[in-house]
Chains A and B, each alone.
Chain A
């Protein structure tokens, strides 16, 4: 009875904490400016099904893609058992779903294979990160926390899966010993092989089984509360993030309506801009100038580095790394959010995304080639953040490289980015 009570308390606390974290993140994301992404829902559902659920973009790197899908499938499917664990935990039952008979045995059996697969994949991923040192996982932005974060989660998964398998193994042995409470349920194609390695003492077995059971479920509750602080939040956010992703041609940059109003007024003095038009700031200096989709992107980033490893600027040694753009945006947003929690809504800390996190040198290295948006497995768009920051640099600070300013001057004066006379436009005909 005490055990059940303890379980219920832990469960409630874990879920309450998680909900609170999610609420804070949601609040932070909604600090962004509004943008309409509700068009074309059928296409959006399709994109989400393909990219998030089906992980279609992971397969461009087949090895990583395969093991990632293994972990993902394992994670989701094994969680069916968590449902049972929760019911057992509340009511003090043992393997309550076993009434399903053959189906139940089949499921428990396949969970075992999956768990071994997940275990293996996690070990391979650890090796890639820490022994082979895959280049994709290095870079200036991959120092300290991001590195430990990735390792912690892999180790946590390994521990969880080990506990899960050990739990099954002892359960199986207890069933064979016809221990009280441990009625026959499930099939254990993998862990039955471990039976001979386990002690024969019933109370020791029960102790191991209970410890693993608790470790597994408390571990999952802990994991639930770890992910909002981690890049692993992508397991949740990948879904809304792909749903709200950009469906337009990648080359299409948005036309700023605030600018349209001003330009129209300039070209046609009789034009009066709509009353609700707020000029505000041109482009983005801080995270709150970005759209909520940009901010959702930042929280969804898995730090996988596919964007950066495909970025022509990055691969030729420039400072720009699209992954860093996303991580900086997230870090700054967390900072802004913490400030709000501590000092209230209107607190200004005198810092900004542009300057304190991202430098103009990074921004000016971008060729707007869209390799990053194409590569991102969860449809994140670092390019739109880069462009917004450039807009601020150019339109608010007139802070562009001098050659770029010359190009602007030429377009303004000669209607071409080079200093040629418009009268020479047809010279090609006779050249």
Chain B
């Protein structure tokens, strides 16, 4: 991979400049080994398109999403207010996130606490680049004839009504997009939302991610596409458990875009 040149808000500030957009990396994107690759893919796309973007770097904190969904409103608002203070100090106008949970929280819950920004999910930005002709899907790994199914993350789909943007990338490929029966507004959760990511599931007869992965695998796909780092973890675990990791790839749509362009 090309050396990534990433600047922080502090760097821009020091140079007396302002970026076009802030890339909110998120905790999973920062620390989870698999999700780091998604982060890199998003940064690579931004670099290749030539967008001036910044990250907060070590100044970034959790948005407070898992605390809020778990019922800890105190902790959530502490995080939110501290983040808002930082974002406002940097005069941030526009934010892109690679995590639907960060996206949802920043977009819907920060305005009420004084944080007003235009917040988009990376799939929406990618869709916009495609529509403007700035992002072509060419010269890279071919997905020709491959069967791809897409798993809707709850916090992008039902929670915010974004169903088509992530599919836009797949539709650019010469691939076959096959939908699961439970898709779009009827999509089935991967099992990680609502702070489930951080605890063992309650007693039951099956794990939710297994139920979902089985549905996807039943279509015999070559790729299961996701657009959320938590879904990535859950679906990958499911694929591993089914011992299908050799034949089924789980890829974020940002990774599909970079691969198809030979940017990896």
List residues of A whose CB falls within 8 A of some B CB: 60, 248-253, 255-256, 259-260, 262-264, 266-267, 282-283, 310, 312-313, 315-320, 361, 364-371, 373-374, 387, 390-395, 400-401, 403-404, 406-408, 411-412, 415-418, 420, 422-429, 431
Q: Give min CB distance, B196 to chain A, whole Å.
A: 5
Is the CB–CB distance between B185 and A367 below 8 Å? no
Enumerate B60-114 residues with CB–CB distance to A below 8 Å: 60-62, 64, 66-75, 77-79, 81-82, 104, 107-109, 112-113
Measured in the bound complex, the distance between the Cα atoms of B21 and A371 in whole Å is 32
With both chains docked as a complex, state the minimum distance between the C-beta of B52 and any C-beta of chain A, in angstroms.
17
Is B191 an interface residue, CB under 8 A from the partner? yes
Q: Tell me the B residues contacting A by CB distance below 8 Å.
A: 4, 6, 8, 25, 27, 29-31, 33, 36, 39-40, 43, 55, 57-58, 60-62, 64, 66-75, 77-79, 81-82, 104, 107-109, 112-113, 154-155, 158-161, 185-186, 188-189, 191-208, 210-212
The minimal Cβ–Cβ distance linking B218 to chain A, given in whole angstroms, is 16
With contacts A369-B194, A416-B31 known, is A312 near B200, CB below 8 A?
A: no
CA distance A137 to B206 in the complex (A): 21
Cβ contact within 8 Å between B74 and A364: no
28 A-B residue contacts at CB 8 Å? A60-B186, A248-B108, A249-B107, A249-B159, A251-B158, A251-B159, A253-B109, A259-B77, A260-B113, A267-B78, A310-B186, A312-B208, A312-B212, A313-B202, A313-B208, A316-B204, A390-B71, A391-B73, A394-B71, A407-B70, A411-B62, A412-B78, A420-B31, A425-B25, A425-B31, A426-B30, A428-B39, A431-B33
Give, as a whole number of angstroms, the nearest-CB distance from A379 to chain B: 14
Q: How far is the CB of A87 from chain B (nearest CB, A)?
A: 47
Inter-subunit contact A252/B191 (CB<8 Å)? no
Is the beta-carbon distance between B202 and A318 smaller than 8 angstroms? yes
Asked if B109 contacts A401 (CB within 8 A), the reply is no
Contacts of A267 in B (CB 8 A): 78, 81-82
Q: Which of A387, A411, A423 contacts B64 (CB 8 A)?
A: A411
* B202, A408: Cβ atoms closer than 8 Å: no
Tell me which of A266, A320, A407, A420 contacts B202 (CB under 8 A).
Answer: A320
Distance of A373 Cα from B30 Cα, bound (Å):
32
How far, in whole Å, are A400 and B69 apart by their CA atoms in the complex? 12
Asked whether B70 lies within 8 Å of A404 as measured between CB atoms, the reply is yes
Residues of A within 8 A of B109 (CB): 252-253, 255
Which residues of chain B come closer than 8 Å to A427, judged between CB atoms? Answer: 30-31, 36
Q: Which residue of chain A has the shortest Cβ distance to B36 in the bound complex?
A: A428
Contact status B112-A255, CB under 8 Å: yes
A408 to B158, CA, bound (A): 26
Find the B residue at minimum CB distance from A428.
B36
- Closest residue on chain B to residue A360 by CB atoms: B202
Output the least CB separation between B70 and chain A (Å). Answer: 5
Compute how far the CA of A412 lies from the CA of B57 in the bound complex, rounded to whole angstroms.
18
Q: How far is the CB of B93 from chain A (nearest CB, A)?
A: 20
* A317 and B210 alpha carbons, distance in the complex (Å): 13
Beyond A250-B159, A312-B212, 7 extra complex contacts between A and B, CB < 8 Å:
A252-B108, A319-B202, A368-B194, A394-B71, A407-B70, A408-B75, A412-B75
**In chain A, what residue has the closest Cβ to B112?**
A255
Q: Which residues from A are CB-within-8-Å of B58?
A: 422-423, 425-426
For the complex formed, measure the closest distance between the CB of B34 and the CB atoms of chain A, giving whole angstroms: 11
B197 partner residues in chain A, CB cutoff 8 A: 417
CA distance A431 to B43 in the complex (A): 13
In the assembled complex, the CB of A248 is this many whole angstroms from the nearest CB of chain B, namely 7
A367 with B154, Cβ < 8 A, contacts A425-B60, A428-B25 known: yes
> Chain A residues near B36 (CB, 8 Å)?
427-428, 431
Q: A264 CA to B80 CA in the complex, in Å?
A: 11
CB neighbours of A313 from chain B (8 A):
202, 204, 208
Do B154 and A369 have beta carbons less than 8 Å apart?
yes
- Flag if B39 contacts A411 (CB, 8 Å): no
Return A320 CB to nearest CB of chain B, in Å.
7
What's the minimum C-beta distance from A143 to chain B, rounded to whole angstroms?
A: 20
A404, B195: Cβ atoms closer than 8 Å? yes
Q: How far is the CB of A331 from chain B (nearest CB, A)?
A: 23
Select the residue from B79, B112, B113, B208 with max chain A CB neighbours within 10 A.
B208
List of A residues within 8 angstroms of B68 by Cβ: 253
Tell me, rounded to whole Å, the shortest Cβ–Cβ distance linking A267 to chain B.
6
CB distance from A380 to the nearest CB of B (A): 15
Residues of chain B with a CB closer than 8 A to A317's CB = 203-206
Q: Please measure, in the bound complex, the distance between the C-alpha atom of A355 and the C-alpha atom of B212, giving whole angstroms.
A: 31
Complex Cα spacing A342 to B175, Å: 68
A251-B155, A312-B211, A313-B202 known; A415-B72 Cβ under 8 A: no
Taking CB atoms, residues of chain B closer than 8 Å to A283 are 71, 73
Q: Known contacts A395-B72, A408-B72; decide if A415 and B79 are in contact (CB<8 Å).
A: yes
Which A residues are in CB contact (< 8 Å) with B31? Answer: 416, 418, 420, 424-425, 427
Indicate if the CB atoms of B195 and A426 lie closer than 8 Å: no
Cβ distance A274 to chain B, nearest Cβ, rounded Å: 16
